[in-house]
A and B are shown apart, each in its own frame.
Chain A
């Protein structure tokens, strides 16, 4: 469903992503891990066709992210780190707008909006302006936006950052429930989140993939150990901890 092959992105002389390679089958929930500045967000932005890669290639649901960007866009749901909300719209207006630009037929828009609201538990605040929402609700509205067109692949960039424990649990459960019909790529800093939600883990460091495997195959080692082995050596600060 997701195939990433030696993907790279350069900004002038600065290399943001050097060589990221991984793949995911249908129904996988991938934990996409890495320290700050490892190139997670840049990689994600290339996968969702926001940025064009400067090297390598990537396919989403069999479509190339550069040459078949339009097909890819129809098949991905994307929640960026900051939920892309229009403050002056109510959640319902916002989701109706998103449904339209995602190409949902006019007759289905209403039911899809209600479905997305229900799935993300925001039906009761659907009439409130996005700018008046708390962080947790904003995040959920962002998630609703990402699943409204029932995409094959859902890409979430740190969906639980800044949430309270109850909200984190709710969002995690929601993400888990998505795997029945979707492939999910979940970028995060929180290691326990990966063991709870994901079935596969990909670790990147300094713009390169340093680890890729299914969680069931790495038993015996904790995710913390694994992460430190892959990343820690090059980070003196984390070693001290």
Chain B
């Protein structure tokens, strides 16, 4: 565990000494703020329109949680597909490129300790990044009357966090296969984007194939969590995704020795 923490600490130092983490976190919060502002603006507009209508039916269906917060989380998920690769692209590729990988591998560490330490490092940055956007629902809760329900906000946040950690884990695995950061970054974006839309042909495909694709989709898995329902199925899915990324990273780093 000591070794894992040493690697994690060094990784964090690397993130926060270079401007990368600051730019990614700021960019994320800035975009989040913009989308939040837009969603809230649209919500208010609809509210005003519907309340002038003679039938109050549509007004009853307008829900702050569903419209603003769920909408925000779904949008953020798309942004994460593009931003997480920027955090993970250097994570192993850079070590290989500058030769520090040799130091790590010839130290009395297991490859899994290296992988886990790095993952915890990038995971911490992801957590900080996501905590930054909790500010928006919090503002609604403080000033809204009535404000949103907070439990779905937290379950949605957990969903977003697990999904991001899964993305980070996959990004790290991709970075483990190359020495070139740009290659790592672009490949991770492609892989994550494919994963994001993997359920697209599910409906036309139908049958078991369709079910499998729907199950594999992080969007379909995280949807219930955004609505306030934490299912075991989703938790298993996200932990499997994280584990898959860690496992692939470990194999890729280990394979180097035996090539």
Contact = CB atoms under 8 A, between A and B. Distances in A.
Contact of A84 (B3, B100, B109): B100
A82 interface: yes
Interface string A91-126: 001000110111100000000000000000000000
Interface stretch (A44-52, A165-173, A206-214, A232-240): A44-52
Contacts of A80: 99, 102-103
The A interface, classified by DSSP as helix, strand, loop or mixed, is: loop
A88 interface: yes
Nearest to A54: B258
A229 interface: no
Nearest to B257: A52
Given A73-B106, A73-B107, A145-B103, A89 B13 contact: yes
Contact of A97 (B6, B110, B257): B6
B6 A85 contact: no
Contacts of B7: 101
Given A86-B10, A86-B14, A100-B3, A50 B108 contact: no
Interface string B80-122: 0000000000000000001111111111111000000000000
A115 to B, nearest CB: 19
Nearest to A70: B108
Interface residues of A, number: 29
Contacts of A83: 99
B108 A100 contact: no
Interface string B9-47: 110011001100000000000000000000000000000
B16 to A, nearest CB: 9
Contacts of B103: 78, 80, 84, 98, 145
A84 B13 contact: no
Contact of A51 (B17, B98, B257): B257
Contacts of A73: 106-108
A76 interface: yes
A76 B9 CA distance: 24
A26 interface: no
Contact of A100 (B2, B258, B259): B2
B19 to A, nearest CB: 11
A220 B171 CA distance: 61
B106 A76 contact: yes
Interface in A15-65: 45, 48-52
B13 A50 contact: no
A74 interface: yes
A126 B104 CA distance: 21
Given A51-B257, A52-B257, A52-B258, A103 B106 contact: no
Contacts of B18: 88
B179 to A, nearest CB: 13
B258 to A, nearest CB: 5
Contacts of B17: 88-89
Contacts of B98: 82, 84-85, 87
A50 B102 contact: yes
Contact of A82 (B10, B99, B106, B258): B99
A52 B258 CA distance: 5
Given A50-B105, A86-B14, A87-B98, 7 more contacts: A49-B105, A78-B103, A84-B99, A97-B10, A98-B103, A101-B6, A101-B108
16 contacts: A49-B105, A50-B106, A52-B257, A52-B258, A70-B108, A74-B108, A80-B99, A80-B102, A85-B98, A87-B98, A89-B10, A93-B13, A98-B107, A100-B6, A101-B104, A101-B107
Interface of B: 2-3, 6-7, 9-10, 13-14, 17-18, 98-110, 257-259
